[in-house]
Chain A
Amino acid sequence: MRIIVLIKHVPDTWEERVLDPATGRLDRSASERVVDEITERALEAALALKDSDKSIEVVALTMGPGESTGAIKKALSMGADSGIHLVDDALAGADAMTTAATIAAALRDAGADLIIAGNESTDGRGGMLPAMLAEHLGLPALTFISDLVVEGGRVRGERATETATSVVSAALPAVVSITEGMPEPRFPSFKGIMGAKKKPVASHSLADLGLAADATPRAASVVLSCEPRPGRTGAEPIVDDGSAGQRLADYLAQQRLV
């Protein structure tokens, strides 16, 4: 069985993330890049399946600029067998539609039995890509899944909603997006780190995928302008004259926070 995991190189969630006001795009130099935390859990889900069945092949796929090989290297050190890097200058500024079309082109003949993605990335947080991808590929999509099981040629998982938990399943091949409810990713081992550079990484441009750069659908949505979030406006200070506790409780109740 071949599992392809979609991973993404994103700015560190714990650092300041900055948009470039001139282009409306992410300023990639503003903070350290890490593997997106939810997609790391997607990889963990695939590796956990591989732990119980060594014949499973795990491939990490990412789309991003040259430096995104860092994300693939991390995935390989954690235990993925190989990597696929979709990289092309013409992809800069790609929106979800373009990204889904490009990844779909790469996956169409990749022989994946299961495609696992995060339900959203921690930077863009669009949360649309897995469903778009499934639509492009004509595959069933199980989205927002926790507790993933593969057996008898089917994939099954739980999806928690506000009122209930649905159990959903589909025949393979399928696209699954997982939530942060899935287990935390493992640490790479020393051996995994030292062995990562020996694992194969394929790099594909748009032309390689049969998508000529000029024929690529331009991003259907573009950011026209962006401005920094305004600073916090003055809160109402409460000076304790004996009633502060009551006023604070009233305020919280008024805001429906308690």
Chain B
Amino acid sequence: MTLLNDAPMAAPAHALTDEQAALVDMVRDFARHELEPHAIEWDRTKHFPVDVIRGAGELGFGGIYVSEDVGGAGLTRADAALIFEELAKGDVTIAAYISIHNMVAWMIDTFGDGAQRERWVPRLASMEHLGSYCLTEPDAGSDAAALSTRAVRDGDEYVLTGVKQFISGAGSTDVYIVMARTGEPGPAGITAFIVPSDAAGLSFGANEVKMGWNAQPTRAVILDGVRVPAADRLGGEGQGFTMAMKALNGGRLNIAACSLGGAQWALDRAVQHIRTRRAFGKPLSEQQSLVFTIADMETELQAARLLLRSAAQSIDTGHPDVAAHCAMAKRFATDVAFTAANAALQLHGGYGYLAEYGIEKVVRDLRVHQILEGTNEIMKLIIGRSVLEKAS
């Protein structure tokens, strides 16, 4: 018996098309000029560079896989995987925020009606408006379907009450997609709403003090009787959880790509360092144990890259096992990338521990990728259950 569906995963993209190579070139230029020189400072001062992010929006970063008719770039998930990997080499945290923003823009583009798409998506695609995705709650993380924020119908409006936790960009962004309960317990009772930042009754918690991802704010979003017109309900009642999970498939690949980019940057730095740093009369790169470390880093990052690109093609081609493929790519890439970044820190010795070298920042930033967009334990549940379902 083969793993999961009998149809093999789509063949991984071993070679880039001319357009993809040009996309990567552009993102590399952008990341090197606009992100990398500032990344350490933004981390230290907890600065969310909205002006730079808006500049990225003008180039198409706000709607990478959003339809062109509402201002998106209309690219594939395979393209997006390349773009996020390259972007993260400049700054993991900013690349990861842009991933979350793209989930929001994509959800309204994909599940919104004509009026919603026209009203919300163009300004998200251009990043004139920034988006936040609000699923997690203080008491509902991995068990997201147990969320308790309520949306009660009142005439032509819904009244939303509850607290969303760990919301990226919150307080600095303009458009919030909020998953709230309109019906029965469990996933089938959840509905998605589009809430603008100026809605009465919407407020934000303090900017969380955290291990990494310092260049984007993380706050609680507090909904205290927020009245949302029924016209801003995304999809039908009870469809919210399914839409949120579909958005997360893409989000997981983007985060996997961000991990890969951060780790590749750290690996490149480590290679430079051990080639020039001398100890015991020769360059560190002549110490066999360090050569083996580099080999493991390279091998695992390449394996993650193939799994990632393959999963991206699974979304692009509508493969039936797409959720498991995305979970595998996310679990594997975020784990091996964290390990590789940590190894890069070790290869740098004491310098790796200094903020100035940027390596410890990447380690801190990548650590949370094993937790968010579904913990890696949840990824294993998705993968394992998919396999077992096939056998039953």
Contact with B along A171-214 (1 / 0, CB 8 A): 00000000000000001111101101100000000000000000
Q: Is the CB of A193 within 8 A of B30?
A: no
Inter-chain CA distance A234–B22, complex, in Å, is 44
Q: Which residues of B contact A189 (CB under 8 A)?
A: 58-60, 73
Which of A74, A188, A194 is the one whose CB lies under 8 Å from B75? Answer: A194
Q: Is the CB of A190 within 8 A of B29?
A: no
Q: Which residue of B lies closest to A34 (CB)?
A: B25
Q: Which residues of A contact B19 (CB under 8 A)?
A: 193-194, 197
Task: State whether the Cβ of A68 lies closer than 8 Å to any Cβ in chain B.
Answer: no
Using A73-B22, A196-B22 as known contacts, say yes or no to A187 and B29 having CB atoms under 8 A apart: yes
Q: Which residue of B lies closest to A78 (CB)?
A: B26
Chain B, 7-55, CB within 8 A of any chain A CB: 18-19, 22-23, 26, 29-30
Q: Is the CB of B22 within 8 A of A191?
A: no
Q: Is the CB of B75 within 8 A of A190?
A: yes
Nearest-Cβ distance from residue A7 to partner chain B, whole angstroms: 16
Which of B23, B58, B64 is the one whose CB lies under 8 Å from A193? Answer: B23
Q: Is the CB of A190 within 8 A of B73?
A: yes
Q: Is the CB of B22 within 8 A of A188?
A: yes
- Number of residues in A with C-beta < 8 Å to the partner? 12
Among A77, A190, A194, residue most surrounded by chain B Cβ atoms (within 10 Å): A190
Q: Which residue of A lies closest to B59 (CB)?
A: A189
Nearest-Cβ distance from residue B234 to partner chain A, whole angstroms: 25
Q: Which residues of B contact A196 (CB under 8 A)?
A: 22
Nearest-Cβ distance from residue A75 to partner chain B, whole angstroms: 12
Q: Which residues of A contact B60 (CB under 8 A)?
A: 189-191
Q: Which residues of A contact B68 (CB under 8 A)?
A: 191
Q: Is the CB of A194 within 8 A of B73?
A: yes
Inter-chain CA distance A190–B75, complex, in Å, is 8
Chain B, 67-83, CB within 8 A of any chain A CB: 68, 73-75
Contact with B along A57-91 (1 / 0, CB 8 A): 00000000000000001100100000000000000
Query: Size band of the B side of the interface?
Result: 10 to 19
Inter-chain CA distance A193–B19, complex, in Å, is 7
Inter-chain CA distance A196–B21, complex, in Å, is 13
Q: Which residues of A contact B64 (CB under 8 A)?
A: 190
Using A77-B22, A193-B22, A197-B19 as known contacts, say yes or no to A187 and B75 having CB atoms under 8 A apart: no
Q: Which residue of A lies closest to B24 (CB)?
A: A193
Inter-chain CA distance A196–B58, complex, in Å, is 17
Q: Which residue of A lies closest to B20 (CB)?
A: A193
Among A77, A193, A197, residue most surrounded by chain B Cβ atoms (within 10 Å): A193
Instruction: Report how many A-B pairs have Cβ atoms within 8 Å.
Output: 37
Inter-chain CA distance A152–B68, complex, in Å, is 37
Q: Is the CB of B26 within 8 A of A188?
A: yes
Inter-chain CA distance A165–B75, complex, in Å, is 47
Q: Which residues of A contact B74 (CB under 8 A)?
A: 194
Q: Which residue of B lies closest to A74 (CB)?
A: B22
Q: Which residues of A contact B18 (CB under 8 A)?
A: 197
Q: Which residues of A contact B59 (CB under 8 A)?
A: 187-190
Q: Which residues of B contact A191 (CB under 8 A)?
A: 60, 68, 73
Inter-chain CA distance A194–B23, complex, in Å, is 8
Nearest-Cβ distance from residue A196 to partner chain B, whole angstroms: 7
Contact with A along B111-131 (1 / 0, CB 8 A): 000000000000000000000
Inter-chain CA distance A190–B79, complex, in Å, is 10
Chain B, 333-381, CB within 8 A of any chain A CB: none
Nearest-Cβ distance from residue B264 to partner chain A, whole angstroms: 19
Q: Is the CB of B23 within 8 A of A190?
A: yes
Among A73, A187, A189, A194, residue most surrounded by chain B Cβ atoms (within 10 Å): A187
Nearest-Cβ distance from residue B17 to partner chain A, whole angstroms: 10
Chain A, 114-171, CB within 8 A of any chain B CB: none
Inter-chain CA distance A137–B362, complex, in Å, is 56
Nearest-Cβ distance from residue B4 to partner chain A, whole angstroms: 32
Q: Which residues of B contact A73 (CB under 8 A)?
A: 22
Q: Which residue of A lies closest to B56 (CB)?
A: A187
Q: Is the CB of A187 within 8 A of B26?
A: yes
Nearest-Cβ distance from residue B28 to partner chain A, whole angstroms: 10
Q: Which residues of B contact A74 (CB under 8 A)?
A: 22
Inter-chain CA distance A235–B351, complex, in Å, is 31
Q: Which residues of A contact B23 (CB under 8 A)?
A: 190, 193
Nearest-Cβ distance from residue B356 to partner chain A, whole angstroms: 23
Inter-chain CA distance A188–B64, complex, in Å, is 14
Q: Which residues of A contact B75 (CB under 8 A)?
A: 190, 194
Q: Which residue of A lies closest to B61 (CB)?
A: A190
Inter-chain CA distance A189–B55, complex, in Å, is 11
Nearest-Cβ distance from residue B18 to partner chain A, whole angstroms: 8
Nearest-Cβ distance from residue B91 to partner chain A, whole angstroms: 16
Inter-chain CA distance A197–B22, complex, in Å, is 11
Q: Which residues of B contact A77 (CB under 8 A)?
A: 22, 26
Inter-chain CA distance A190–B23, complex, in Å, is 7
Inter-chain CA distance A187–B74, complex, in Å, is 18
Inter-chain CA distance A253–B146, complex, in Å, is 75
Inter-chain CA distance A197–B101, complex, in Å, is 29
Inter-chain CA distance A196–B74, complex, in Å, is 15
Inter-chain CA distance A194–B17, complex, in Å, is 11
Contact with A along B173-186 (1 / 0, CB 8 A): 00000000000000
Inter-chain CA distance A188–B59, complex, in Å, is 7
Q: Which residues of A contact B30 (CB under 8 A)?
A: 187
Q: Which residues of B contact A193 (CB under 8 A)?
A: 19, 22-23, 26
| A-B pairs with beta carbons under 8 Å apart, 5 shown | A187-B29, A187-B59, A189-B59, A193-B19, A194-B73
Closest 6 pairs (CB-CB, A-B): A190-B60, A190-B73, A189-B59, A193-B22, A189-B60, A188-B26
Further 11 A-B residue pairs, CB within 8 A, beyond A193-B19, A197-B18: A77-B22, A77-B26, A187-B30, A187-B59, A189-B58, A189-B73, A190-B60, A190-B73, A193-B22, A194-B73, A194-B74
Chain A interface (Cβ < 8 Å from any Cβ of B): 73-74, 77, 187-191, 193-194, 196-197
